[in-house]
């Protein structure tokens, strides 16, 4: 959306319907499960507007919980990983969806910006990608921090605030560094070089957006 999306606040509700952008089968391209076949549930709307965000999440539609789970089962094939992303998935009451997917035998991973929290089943795995305000990273909520399985920091050699990994409370939680895709070959090469330097210097894990390399959504 490149920062052009409206800022959407958290929604109330019982989770029986959700704003859904897209449900699709793919390969997880980032973070701890990079390379693993997965079904993505991309939810609509976000509470932030990042200028580098290249994801469409504003042409969403309402879907009933049963319909979302049914669509996942149609697409899943041999995949057992379900990734709930956005937008910002914790903007909506997703606990019932997580529970239904876990009960169906799937592994569930959430990708969040770290500014919102809802109670989720313990088995849900959470990847947090903190975002920068321009004067520092948004603080990661304490109630979320104890549940995070991995951090993913976006790295840019030019974008202000994204040239390094800040302390947001990660402690011993694994940290992935991912070069920002700025759709410019020279900038992307510099971003990759910087991400590699940070990885080698601090022991962070390099994440390379595998789905873009292999040409899938």
d(CA 204, CA 187): 21
Q: Write out pLDDT tens, residues 144-168.
A: 999 999 999 999 999 999 999 999 9
Mean pLDDT, to the nearest integer, of 189-212? 97
Place 133 in a pLDDT band, splitting at 50, 70 and 90. Answer: confident
Q: Which CATH class is domain 17-214?
A: alpha beta
Which tokens belong to 149? 């399985």
| pLDDT at residue 135 is higher than 90 | no
The set of catalytic residues is 40, 46, 50, 53-55, 111, 211
Angle, helices 65-75/95-103, rounded to nearest 10 degrees? 40
Average pLDDT value over all residues in the chain: 96
The more confidently predicted of residues 217 and 108 is: 108
Query: What's residue 2's pLDDT?
Result: 86
Query: What's residue 64's pLDDT?
Result: 98
Q: Write out pLDDT tens, residues 2-47.
A: 899 999 999 999 999 999 999 999 999 999 999 999 999 999 999 9
**CB distance 165 to 198 below 8 Å:** yes
Q: What's 138's DSSP letter?
A: P
């Amino acid at each position: 959306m490149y920062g052009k999306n409206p800022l959407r606040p958290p929604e109330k509700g019982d989770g029986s319907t959700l704003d859904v952008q897209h449900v699709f089968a793919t390969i997880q391209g980032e973070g701890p499960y990079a390379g693993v076949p997965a079904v993505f549930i991309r939810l609509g709307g976000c509470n932030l507007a990042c200028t580098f965000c290249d994801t469409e999440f504003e042409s969403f539609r309402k879907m009933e919980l049963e319909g979302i789970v049914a669509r996942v089962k149609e697409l899943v094939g041999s995949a057992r990983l379900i990734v709930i992303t956005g937008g910002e998935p914790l903007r909506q009451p997703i606990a019932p969806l997580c529970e239904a997917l876990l009960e169906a035998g799937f592994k569930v991973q959430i990708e969040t910006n770290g500014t919102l929290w809802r109670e989720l089943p313990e088995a849900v795995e959470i990847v947090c990608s903190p975002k920068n305000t321009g004067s520092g990273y948004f603080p990661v909520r304490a109630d979320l921090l104890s549940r995070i399985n991995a951090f993913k920091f976006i790295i840019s050699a030019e974008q202000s605030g994204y040239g390094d990994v800040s302390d947001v409370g990660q402690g011993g939680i694994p940290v992935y560094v991912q070069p920002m895709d700025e759709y410019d070959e020279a900038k992307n090469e510099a971003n990759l070089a910087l991400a590699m330097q940070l990885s080698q210097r601090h022991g962070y894990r390099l994440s390379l957006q595998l789905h873009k390399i292999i040409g899938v959504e």
